[in-house]
Structure 1
Amino acid sequence: MDSDAELLLGTYQQNQNTTICAWNYHTGNVEHVYKSGGTALPKTLCLIASDYLLTAEEDKPLLHIWPVNSQEQIKNIRFVLPDVVNSIDIDSYNNYIAAAIGLKLYVWHLNSGRLINILQKHYQPITCVKFSSDSSFILAGGQDGMLVGYKLENVVSYTNSYVSQKNVGECEPLYTKMDHSAQITHIHVGTFGRKSKFATTSNDCTCRIYMIQNGTLLLTLILNDPLSYVLMDATCWIIYIGTKKGSIQRVNLRNPPRSLEYHIDQAYKDEFSGHQRSVTCMDLNQTNLTLASGSEDGFIILWDVATKNILRKIERSGSITNLQFVLKHMNFTTQSLKTNIILQPLQKNVDTNMRNFVVYANPNQVVFDDEVDKLSEESVPSETLENAQTQINDLKIINKQLYDAFIKMAKKYNS
């Protein structure tokens, strides 16, 4: 891959003017900056399609969104949340945004800003939330050590779209795990959709690996220090575990131990040593040959995965809070950005009058019935509108039949 084909996005504390920096990590030069978003919270840096960057501000219930080609935020739209957020993730099709706010998990429809559901199963604040790579599942981990897995179809289904504020949490989770005895600090999900594994780390010094489809515990790795971050490579064969002492432990899952629990002691030497304080974030580049890690010591370190040598150090004025490798596509440099994503302010209450979704031929585009009606009435002649409405009604019937058939087949072959 071309050495200039990727950028490293990062955020750090004590940053008054610049919220996000985009580095050429081969040279260490800053190529783009995104301003006026305050200090970005950990686990809140997201790329929306190839169009926007999103972060949540520390100590304020605000989201900040920038077009990738501009250092200034989107104007005339305020993204206000019900409270300060702990973690944010966006599904791979850019249809939904999930936010951990206190004890509750909020799920919005991104293009319309509608609040789809509010889920509450935790007894202490949620610390991290993740979508699966195919957008089929949502995972949430909390300070209480509880891990909860939801099916996205249950969260956004017709029935649950009518959840009122007094009946939050009506959507039952697919599974609930209480394997950790202390706060879950991070969750990483593999890249194989419903067949993938995912890993969690905790202050109880354990890293646990599960199957995402049913929550089956596959392996528990026990270390000597509290753990802060976890990352798997693209094949889910290698796992990197960051500790609060500053070390990064690498474990090869192709030769798993025969027991369900495996103790990693001082004799285990596959370790990346370079940080002086807790590891706060990590990411692998597209080729999985370079590892980036950030720490509370204010350093970003680029590692050669094969040799564990330090390729480059980037020093910042405060703790590193987020790191992410992204492809350096043409949107970063274009003068006029043509976006494929429509953004609206996020609602604070569940819309009890919400109707069904309409899914067009483009499976990534999801809108609501009443939005279609509104746009049609403004710009389409009445006769054409009547014909279109008839076709929409027919398509609704066909979509419902296809959906029912799909669910029936899924239950039959996944039982």
Structure 2
Amino acid sequence: MDTDVELLLGSYQQNQNTSICAWNYNTGNVEHVYKSGGTALPKTLCVISSDYLLTAEQDKPLLHIWPVNSQEQVKNIRFVLPDVVSSIDIDSYNNYIAAGIGLKLYVWHLNSGRLINILQKHYQPITCVKFSSDSSYVLAGGQDGMLVAYKLENVVSYTNSYVSQKNVGECEALYTKMDHSAQITHIHIGTFGRKSKFATTSYDCTCRIYMLQNGTLLLNLILNEPLTYVLMDTTCWIIYIGTKKGSIQRVNLRNPPRSVEYYVDQKYQDIFSSHQKSITCMDLNQTNEVLASGSEDGFVILWDIATKNILRKIERSGAITNLKFVLKYLNFNTQSLKSNIILQPLQKNVDTNMRNFVVYASPNQVVFDDEVEKVSQESVPSETLENAQTQINDLKIINKQLYDAFIKMAKKYNS
């Protein structure tokens, strides 16, 4: 393991002062701490580009954001949510943030803080939210066992987003699954964009694997205990399933069963076993050689994938809530962070007046800017303004035709 390449980020309960630790996972030493954010909720630790860390605080409707090079939070901006969240994710291009709050899925534009849409399909509170690796889809699972998949383009589009407050949430789901009979505890999406597989776990003792693009069920793994967490390796051939009793079951999909339903044998020995309580979080390092697991027993365990040997145990004073391997960015040790990310307070209501705006791009980001320089109509002849408006309307029509043609070609050749 190269200690100069990656860090392991983690959070745990019963520590009000330090919210996130960054460990050198080879030595177990703490290299960075991030303070004063309270206890970080499970499934809320996110990395924004290589610049910021984000978590949601337990029992409070607050987000906390730290520059990666500072133990103190971003100053002069307060990130207040409509209510306490259950899960948060940020898309891979750092444009959008999705959060499960009660029965609703909230989607904000990260740079402007604008609330883009509020979606409600669940009958019981949302438990987990995930973007696909290419930011094409966003998935939400709930206590009702329902899985809802949306195309992100539909969620943020003008026709679906900028509507009156009473009509928010009208975006049609790409598909809805009611396969689980109990709460969905976690969702993991593969790394191949829209061609990926994704997996869900539930307290109904099943781990289900689907095709992301159309929701086709590929495999239903049935175990003999409630499942709490699921993780796939980079190739999406190996699945790690965390259980309520503290074991981690590894399943190799290169030896597929002959039927869609597969009962994992109780005597099946490909198990990582050391935790004494429920598995709460897991992650793999960049090379898929080291598995990090966290549990309610207060231990972070680092496993060697090839041998299943324990490389290191890190003990904390409370249940582990989040784990994430990150590259050891230069920003971790810089004195002055120069970020292209723009942060604004998150709005609580959908902005129905956002009808005229300019879109420009910073690196890999979309930025909405309402503060467009206004040209005095007195200094421009009315005939010139009319001609300009006519050209704009023509361009809109041409762009729409190009878009329709592209979609038609994409559907034809992808089928």
Provide the TM-score with structure 1 as the length reference. 0.93
In 2, Cα distance between equivalents of 1:359 and 1:274 = 52
In 1, Cα distance between equivalents of 2:365 and 2:160 = 21
Counterpart for residue 81 of structure 1: 81
Q: CA RMSD in A?
A: 2.2
Partner of 1:159, secondary structure, is: helix
Percent identity reads 87
Residue 402 (structure 1) shift: 4.0
Counterpart for residue 292 of structure 1: 292
| Structure 1 residue 92 corresponds to structure 2 residue 92 | yes
Counterpart for residue 105 of structure 1: 105
Residue 167 (structure 1) shift: 1.6
Counterpart for residue 13 of structure 1: 13
Partner of 1:60, secondary structure, is: coil
1:322-342 deviation digits (Å, cap 9, x = unpaired): 000000010000000000100
Aligned pairs (5 A) from 1:292-371: 292-355=292-355, 358-360=358-360, 364-371=364-371
Residue 369 (structure 1) shift: 4.9
Counterpart for residue 148 of structure 1: 148
8 A Cα contact 2:161 2:168, kept in partner? no
Aligned pairs (5 A) from 1:137-176: 137-176=137-176
In 2, Cα distance between equivalents of 1:145 and 1:270 = 28
Residue 353 (structure 1) shift: 1.1
Could you tell me which amino acid in structure 2 is paired with residue 172 of structure 1?
E
Partner of 2:172, secondary structure, is: coil
| Structure 1 residue 178 corresponds to structure 2 residue 175 | no
Paired residue total: 406
Could you tell me which amino acid in structure 2 is paired with residue 164 of structure 1?
S
Aligned pairs (5 A) from 1:376-395: 376=373, 393=392
In 2, Cα distance between equivalents of 1:350 and 1:24 = 42
Partner of 1:317, secondary structure, is: coil
1:123-149 deviation digits (Å, cap 9, x = unpaired): 000000000000000000000000000
In 1, Cα distance between equivalents of 2:16 and 2:9 = 17
1:96-144 deviation digits (Å, cap 9, x = unpaired): 0000000000000000000000000000000000000000000000000
| Structure 1 residue 66 corresponds to structure 2 residue 63 | no
1:349-389 deviation digits (Å, cap 9, x = unpaired): 00111226655466722122524x1xx459xxx99xx99xx
In 1, Cα distance between equivalents of 2:195 and 2:362 = 24
8 A Cα contact 1:158 1:356, kept in partner? no
Residue 399 (structure 1) shift: 4.9
Counterpart for residue 255 of structure 1: 255
In 1, Cα distance between equivalents of 2:399 and 2:44 = 35
1:211-232 deviation digits (Å, cap 9, x = unpaired): 0000000000000000000000
Residue 411 (structure 1) shift: 3.2
8 A Cα contact 2:361 2:367, kept in partner? no
Aligned pairs (5 A) from 1:234-273: 234-273=234-273
Counterpart for residue 205 of structure 2: 205
8 A Cα contact 1:163 1:170, kept in partner? no
Residue 405 (structure 1) shift: 3.1
Could you tell me which amino acid in structure 2 is paired with residue 69 of structure 1?
N
- Structure-2 change in CA distance of 1:269 and 1:358 (3 Å): farther
In 2, Cα distance between equivalents of 1:2 and 1:377 = 54
Could you tell me which amino acid in structure 1 is paired with residue 121 of structure 2?
K
Partner of 2:229, secondary structure, is: strand
Could you tell me which amino acid in structure 2 is paired with residue 262 of structure 1?
Y
- Structure-2 change in CA distance of 1:351 and 1:122 (3 Å): same
8 A Cα contact 1:298 1:315, kept in partner? yes
Could you tell me which amino acid in structure 2 is paired with residue 294 of structure 1?
G
Structure 1, gaps ≥5 residues long: none
1:267-294 deviation digits (Å, cap 9, x = unpaired): 2100000100000000000000000000
Counterpart for residue 221 of structure 1: 221
Structure 2, gaps ≥5 residues long: none
In 2, Cα distance between equivalents of 1:397 and 1:28 = 59
8 A Cα contact 1:279 1:294, kept in partner? yes
Partner of 2:404, secondary structure, is: helix
